[in-house]
Amino acid sequence: TEVNFNYTEANAWQYEFGAHHDIEGIIECLNLNDSEFIQAKNKDKKRYGKNLEKKLDSLFLSSSKMTGRDQSDITGLIGQYAHGNEPSHHVAYLYDDCNRNDKCQLRVQEIINKFYTNAPEGLCGNEDCGQMSAWYVFSCLGFYPVNPIISQYHLGIPQFQKVQIKLPNEKPILFNSKGIEDSKYLSKVYINEKEQRKEIQLKPGDQVKFEFSYQNYWQEETPLMSKSTFQPMPYISSGEEVFMDSTLVQLGSFNHSEIEYSFDTSLNEKYTYKAPISIYKPLTLFFRNRTKNAPWLVSEFKLKPRGFKYQVMTKYDQPYNAGGEDALFNGIDGSLDFRDGHWQGFWGKDIEIMLEIQEGINPKDISIRCLQDQGSWILFPSKIEIQVSKDGKNFKRNQLITNTIEQDNNTSRDHIFRSEKLNGNRFIKLIIYNPGKLPTWHLSAGSDSWVFMDEIKVNFE
C-alpha cells in the first residue's frame, strides 16, 4: 500500500497487473509456488486462473488506506483499485482471464455507475489526453483493449440497445443488445451469427449481437490461454551492494533458467552460476540467462568507507530510504533523478548526523552532496552547521555554510557543500537545516519542502 518513488502516482497494488502484453506471464508468476496448481496444471485448466482471481478479489476488497507519501492523483478508489489514475484501467477486465466474466461485468458496471456522472466534476480523475473518457466509451460499447497493440478486445458489459461505429470509407460496425433492459448478465456474444468466447476481434461491416440473461454462462467455460514466450530476467536474491570485508552474492531466476556471469567488462570470460559468489573487493558483476542473445544485467559492489563511524540521528522518510541506514555513506553517487533509488529524502525537518573519527586519523574536510528539483518540492538546505568536539560531549560551532543558490530554477541540479578546517577533532556533528515551507512563487506554496542527500564523504590528510 506504500506510495513511493518506485511507482508513478500509484503503489504496488495498481502496478501488480501492469504487464498488459503478457497476462499469461502474470498468471504463471502467481502460480509459481502453488503446489496444488502445479499438480493439476495438465489436468484441470479451469484451475489455471484461480490465483489471479484471488489477487483481483483482494485488490477490490482491500482497505483503500495507503501509506507513504501523499499523492493527490490516486483517486476513484474501490479497495486498492484506483480508477482515477490510468494504470488501473484494464484491471477489471482481467477477470475474463480467470474464467470469471461475471465478475468482470459486475466490477465494470460498478465503475461506470460510481465514477462517471453528469456533473461539472463528473470524472474521478484527470482526463489525461482523453483516457478517462476513452475507458467509458469502450466500456459502454461492451469491450476493452487490455493489450492495445493487438486487434483483440476483452468482453465487458454493453450499456446500449443499439450502437454503430462509423468508419471512414468503410461499412459501419453494428451492435445490438437483446434483453439488456431487464437482465443482469451479458450471456452470449455473436459476430456475424458466430458465437464468440472471452476475446473478440472486429472488422468493418461486422454485426455484433449481445444477449443478456439472469444467469451467468461464462464461469464454466475453459479459459483460452496461449503459452507465454516472455523470459523473466534473473536477479540478485542476496548480497550487500556495499560491504565491509566481504559479501556473498546469490543469483536467482523465476523460471529456474540457467544463469551465467562474468567479472570481465569484455565479457569474454564467463562462468555458469552453480553456487553463491564470494566477493572481497570492489568489482562489477555481469549476469544473464544462459540463452542466445539474452541481455546482460550489471551490478556494482563497493567497500564501505573506512576511518570513521557514523549515525544518522534523524529518521529518513520511508518512500525515499535509498536502501536504509548506510545510504548516505555507501560510496554510490546517484544521478540527477531523485527517483533512481540512491537519494535519501527528509520531509519538513532538520537532519542531524554524528561522526566519530578513528583515533590517529586527521580529517581534512567533509563533503555533503544535496539535490534540488523544485518542481518535485526538493530544495537545497538553507544552511549546514558543523559542530566539533574532542570528547563527544561538549560541542562547539566550527562552521556555518549558508546556501546562496537560487531556488526558482526548473532544472534538476546537485551541489556539494564542503566543510574544511576541522582541526583534528574526532567528533563531528552535522546539522542540515530544512529550507522551510515552499515559497510564495511555488505552485504548492506553503507546503513542506524536501531535503534530498546522497553521499557524505570524509577526506583525510
> DSSP for 239-292?
--SEESS-EEEEEE-TT---EEEES-TT--S-EE--SPEEE-S-EEEEEEESST
> What are the grid coordinates assigned to 281, written together?
573487493
The one-letter amino acid at 315: K
pLDDT at 45: 53
pLDDT at 222: 41
Task: Name residue, grid cell 458489459.
Answer: 157
pLDDT at 225: 44
Query: Tell me, what DSSP letter sits at residue 407?
Result: S
Q: Is the pLDDT of residue 19 over 80?
A: yes
In terms of pLDDT, which residue wins out, 272 or 67?
Answer: 272
Q: What is the pTM of this model?
A: 0.64
pLDDT at 224: 43
Which pLDDT band, with edges at 50, 70 and 90, does 230 fall under?
A: low
Which pLDDT band, with edges at 50, 70 and 90, does 40 fall under?
A: low
Task: Write the pLDDT tens digit of every residue in 426-457.
Answer: 899 999 999 999 999 999 999 999 999 999 99
Q: Which of 160, 61, 163 is nearest to 103 (CA)?
A: 61
Q: Is the pLDDT of residue 37 over 80?
A: no
User: Quick one: what percent of the chain has pLDDT higher than 70?
Assistant: 93
Q: Are 271 and 261 in contact (CB under 8 A)?
A: yes
| Residue 176 CA from chain centroid, whole number | 41
pLDDT at 215: 67
Which pLDDT band, with edges at 50, 70 and 90, does 221 fall under?
A: very low
Q: How confident is the prediction for the chain on average, in pLDDT?
A: 88
Task: Write the pLDDT tens digit of every residue in 331-384.
Answer: 888 899 998 889 999 999 999 999 999 988 888 889 999 999 999 999 999 999
| Residue 95 CA from chain centroid, whole number | 22
Q: Is the pLDDT of residue 191 over 90?
A: yes
Which pLDDT band, with edges at 50, 70 and 90, does 421 fall under?
A: confident
Which pLDDT band, with edges at 50, 70 and 90, does 46 fall under?
A: low
Q: What is the CA radius of gyration of the chain?
A: 29
pLDDT at 438: 96
pLDDT at 66: 87
Work out the average pLDDT over 408-424: 88
Q: Most confidently modeled of 25-39, 64-78, 137-151?
A: 137-151
Q: Are 428 and 355 in contact (CB under 8 A)?
A: yes
Helix 50-61 to helix 23-31 angle, to the nearest 10 degrees? Answer: 90
> What are the grid coordinates assigned to 29, written together?
508468476
> What are the grid coordinates assigned to 61, written together?
476488497
pLDDT at 163: 96
Q: Is the pLDDT of residue 21 over 80?
A: yes
For 141, list phi and psi in degrees, rounded to 5: -70, -25
pLDDT at 223: 43
Which pLDDT band, with edges at 50, 70 and 90, does 55 fall under?
A: very high
Work out the average pLDDT over 67-78: 82
Task: Name residue, grid cell 464468440.
Answer: 196
Which pLDDT band, with edges at 50, 70 and 90, does 291 fall under?
A: confident
Q: Which of 405, 349, 350 is nearest to 372 (CA)?
A: 405
Q: Positive or negative CA dihedral for 309, 315, 317, 323? A: positive
Q: 45 forms bridges with which residues in the sheet?
A: none
Work out the average pLDDT over 416-434: 89
Degrees to nearest 5, angle at CA 285 with 282 and 286: 160
User: Quick one: what percent of the chain has pLDDT higher than 90?
Assistant: 58
- How buried is 176 (Cβ within 10 angstroms: 0-12 exposed, 13-18 middle, 19+ buried)? middle
Degrees to nearest 5, angle at CA 74 with 140 and 96: 40
pLDDT at 34: 64
